[in-house]
Structure 1
Amino acid sequence: MAATPPRNSFLGLLPWPERQAVARALRTETVGGLVLLAAAVVALVWANTPLSSAYTTIRDFHFGIPALGLDLSVGHWTSDGLLTVFFLVAGIELKRELVVGSLRTPATAALPVIAAVCGMAVPAAFYAATIAAGGGSMDGWAVPMATDIAFALAVLAVISTHLPTALRAFLLTLAVVDDLGAILIIAVFFTSNLNFWALAGALAGLGVFYLLQRRRVRGWWWYAPLGVVIWALLYNGGIHATVAGVAMGLILRTVRDEGESQSPAQRTGHLLHPLSAGLCVPLFALFAAGVSVSGDALGKVFTTPEPLGVIVGLVAGKILGIFAGTYLAARFTRARLNPDLAWADVLALATLAGIGFTVALLIGELAFPGTAVGEHVKAAVLIASLIAALLAALLLRRRNAVYRRLYEEENLDEDADGIPDVYQRTGSGST
């Protein structure tokens, strides 16, 4: 049996409470990723059959409250409405990482943050280089910056790798930081016709939300209507409404008070995570991933600068950015790689991060609304995600014997007390 890797090593043993939290999040994301994968397949099949006109009719059907500026299409409701729940959960995850997770101290946050930032900057640079070489629009520079953790975990479930928890946790942390970057980009670069009165109302609503949390006010009947009002005001304010979800997620209290079994963030995340992963994101995928896969359309993906830049950015850019960022950060911080793993494992994770499905599709819609280029960019996201998934599957399967051994060692519980023996050997079962 291999020696237990030190807990302070890079990709080493996670503290037991952190591992429990990560395991809960990953279970939901994996199931949600499989549903997301199924939704994407249904969308592609539906949009490329004689029933494609029905798909377009349903996606473009409008309903809402015109007097409140909320007369939106079904596709628009899924991207601006349902994805707000997704970003609310992302905000809660980010808050947890910042308060009690791997981002709570500069020493532990440095490596995943540097890796994630490089994993966003390099793909954008690759997109820009492709546009500079072939001409085209720079509007899609942010599309290849996103990583879809649910889709990535679905790929892991399909190929049946026994990836150790530390590797999955690192991928999850990368995705959390990636989501924050995506929200900042959406908030800053994809705004239009700002209505400062509506924005002021949204800020006031967030202030009330904060005060309710500070006063320890409980009850969904306070927060749900207030959240809807904040969302509607932000939407009418000209900022993408999903920003409201992240803002509220960051405000929710993460640390439990004395006598509480769960903090408000834990309770909310527990309730909304399955809804987000199992319904909201798949419905968005159903109405966003329905693109033509005809020979002519696929040809334009590889010959038009914008979609080609997305493919190069998501595949090559993500691999180079995350791997190089991780390697350099480890050297700079003198972090020691878990001796049971190799840099080839980090390369495989970097390849897996090239799956940019959900947020990449959203940014593609914002960058090229209602245009043929936008449809080609969507197709490029799907193709790049497929390429990244296949490459990652090859790299991960090559090392699966190692992963299986480590997985079995870190889950062995011979005394059946619910805590793996490796934590009792290291004295970390309750830390």
Structure 2
Amino acid sequence: MTPDSPHPENAGPEATPDATNDRGTATPTAARLLGRGTWREARYVAQLLRTETVGGAVLLAAAVVALVWANSPWSGAYSTLRDTTVGPHALHLDLSLGTWAADGLLAVFFLVAGIELKREFVAGDLSDRRKAALPIAAAVCGVVLPAVLFVVTALVVNRAEGGALGDVLRGWAVPTATDIAFALAVLAVIGTHLPSALRSFLLTLAVVDDLIAITIIAVFYTESVALLWLLAAAVPLAAWRMLLRRRITNPAVLAVPALLAWGFVHASGVHATVAGVLLGLLVPVNREVEDDPDRHSLAERLEHRLRPFSAGFAVPVFAFFAAGVTVGADVGAVLRDPAAVGVVVGLVVGKAVGVFGGTWAVARFTRAELDEDLSWTDVLGLSLLAGVGFTVSLLVGELAFGTGSERDDHVKLAVLAGSLIAALLATVVLRLRNRHYRLVEARETADLDRDGVPDVYDESCERA
């Protein structure tokens, strides 16, 4: 089935059968936004949801431990641990543990994101330009509006406080990122009966969001670039690609070009996490294998191996070293800091209005309509949930203001506060919708065929 096929599981905005007029001729009907996907897509989202839910719980626990420790009588020990330097000085890799977590472990997170992005572009929702229009528009609006609101809010607060602007505007990108682990974890808890199309939309939105985030980091937060080191990274990247094309997946063998590529990118001055995305995008993806629910592609197997390490260890360790800021006497300073206030407004208001507005714009300026089984209240709930920014937001804050600086600490507290507010607002909206879908889902899943596939998905296949 081609990407441009008008069938419900491939079109997006999802196509619906043509109606007939009084003359008996077909008249085109409006396409559907956020329509039901395929059974394979529903299973994939469900599996990913379980992994990210556990990862989100571990991430939350790591952040809470860091906050408690950093505000305890033993806070000095936390700072000492975070600032402990390890690594070979001769290779300029004598970095603190906090930096290793941000530059090294997060590269694994972006490697998984790169693989996921490649799969989406080749065989997923983003492979169909019509289906990709919605999450791309929502993601772009969900990046642009928070950035604009950050700048406007920061300027207003700075003028009211009468202080110097300084480096405030360097943090414009902090509220632009959605944390997929936290967002999916919240969705798994509060939206147990929400349609899988909503979860797929949030997942695809987050994938595009990650791509935009790493592009922002590479372009706007790179002070200088050593081109020779960057060109040298092409060699291990090519070796990585060659090994995978030859189906050589031994972890010890693949680690060699991966580590070399990371080291060269780090030495070039570009943030080392960019190497992770490049490695992920170079993983071969076979459309035919990806479309077969009974086969597992190389990219899928590699992602399956790396995701537990990324979600269960790499990201939580980064959160542990990044979230340990002192609370208390700093609250007043945070409320007066233009950057901190801008981050909260960007995450809570900018993300929600941006994602919702982008989705509405696709419906308004195309022939698409929201799927009849959904409500715009569902879109509002997901838009609020997109304001849960943590991992990448903390990373951008460190790059913008410097790790351990006073403003960086203020921004970290603002990221935590903004994410919490967004999650609570999303919980209120989505819990109300979850009650409605509980009965709907019970009716659909009660009648199963012998193959264990709900009839509603079989009907989609029959229409195809």
TM-score tier, shorter chain, comes to over 0.9
Contact 1:88 1:248 in 2 (8 A): yes
Equivalent in 232, 235, 249 of residue 263 of structure 2: 232
Shift of 1:57: 0.8
Q: Relative to structure 1, is the Cα distance of residues 218 and 393 closer, same or farther in structure 2, using a 3 angstrom cutoff? A: closer
Correspondence for 2:385:
352
Equivalent position amino acid for 2:128 in 1: T
Deviations 1:121-178 (A, max 9, x none): 0000000101222333210000000001110122223435422111011000110000
For residues 419 and 249 of structure 2, the distance between their equivalents in structure 1, rounded to whole angstroms, comes to 41
After TM superposition, the structure 1 = structure 2 runs for residues 30-41 of structure 1, keeping only pairs within 5 Å, are 30-41=53-64
For residues 350 and 103 of structure 2, the distance between their equivalents in structure 1, rounded to whole angstroms, comes to 28
Unaligned runs of 5+ in 2: 1-6, 15-31, 159-164
Counterpart check, 1:42 vs 2:48 = no
Give the secondary structure class of the aligned counterpart of 1:427: helix
After TM superposition, the structure 1 = structure 2 runs for residues 319-338 of structure 1, keeping only pairs within 5 Å, are 319-338=352-371
Correspondence for 1:79:
102
Give the secondary structure class of the aligned counterpart of 1:262: coil
Equivalent position amino acid for 1:172 in 2: L
Q: Which moved more, 1:149-158 or 1:256-265?
A: 256-265
Q: Relative to structure 1, is the Cα distance of residues 407 and 291 closer, same or farther in structure 2, using a 3 angstrom cutoff? A: farther
After TM superposition, the structure 1 = structure 2 runs for residues 10-21 of structure 1, keeping only pairs within 5 Å, are 10-21=33-44
Contact 1:161 1:396 in 2 (8 A): no
Deviations 1:41-63 (A, max 9, x none): 11111111112111111111110
Unaligned runs of 5+ in 1: none
Contact 1:161 1:397 in 2 (8 A): no
Counterpart check, 1:262 vs 2:325 = no
Give the secondary structure class of the aligned counterpart of 2:87: strand
For residues 315 and 439 of structure 2, the distance between their equivalents in structure 1, rounded to whole angstroms, comes to 34
TM-score using structure 2 length? 0.87
Correspondence for 1:112:
135
For residues 228 and 444 of structure 2, the distance between their equivalents in structure 1, rounded to whole angstroms, comes to 54
For residues 134 and 363 of structure 1, the distance between their equivalents in structure 2, rounded to whole angstroms, comes to 21
For residues 442 and 406 of structure 2, the distance between their equivalents in structure 1, rounded to whole angstroms, comes to 49
TM-score using structure 1 length? 0.94
Correspondence for 1:408:
442
Shift of 1:277: 0.5
Shift of 1:416: 4.8
Equivalent in 158, 180, 184 of residue 215 of structure 2: 184
Correspondence for 2:26:
none
Size of the aligned set, in residue pairs, is 425
Correspondence for 2:19:
none
Equivalent position amino acid for 2:416 in 1: L
Correspondence for 1:291:
325
Contact 2:114 2:278 in 1 (8 A): yes
Counterpart check, 1:425 vs 2:459 = yes
Equivalent in 415, 428, 432 of residue 381 of structure 1: 415
Contact 2:54 2:312 in 1 (8 A): yes
For residues 226 and 100 of structure 1, the distance between their equivalents in structure 2, rounded to whole angstroms, comes to 26
Deviations 1:312-348 (A, max 9, x none): 0011000110001110112223222121211111011
Larger Rg: 2
Q: Relative to structure 1, is the Cα distance of residues 278 and 396 closer, same or farther in structure 2, using a 3 angstrom cutoff? A: same
Shift of 1:413: 4.5
- Percent identity over paired residues: 55
Equivalent in 56, 66, 88 of residue 111 of structure 2: 88
Equivalent position amino acid for 1:134 in 2: V
Contact 2:190 2:434 in 1 (8 A): no
Correspondence for 2:345:
312
Contact 1:354 1:385 in 2 (8 A): yes
Equivalent position amino acid for 2:356 in 1: F
Shift of 1:410: 4.6
Q: Which moved more, 1:229-238 or 1:419-428?
A: 419-428
| Structure with higher RCO (Cα < 8 A, 6+ apart) | 1
Deviations 1:285-328 (A, max 9, x none): 1111111220x312222221000000000110001100011101
For residues 163 and 256 of structure 1, the distance between their equivalents in structure 2, rounded to whole angstroms, comes to 28
For residues 416 and 60 of structure 1, the distance between their equivalents in structure 2, rounded to whole angstroms, comes to 58
Shift of 1:191: 1.2
Equivalent position amino acid for 1:392 in 2: A
Shift of 1:407: 3.1
Equivalent position amino acid for 2:106 in 1: L
Contact 2:325 2:412 in 1 (8 A): yes
For residues 256 and 196 of structure 1, the distance between their equivalents in structure 2, rounded to whole angstroms, comes to 35
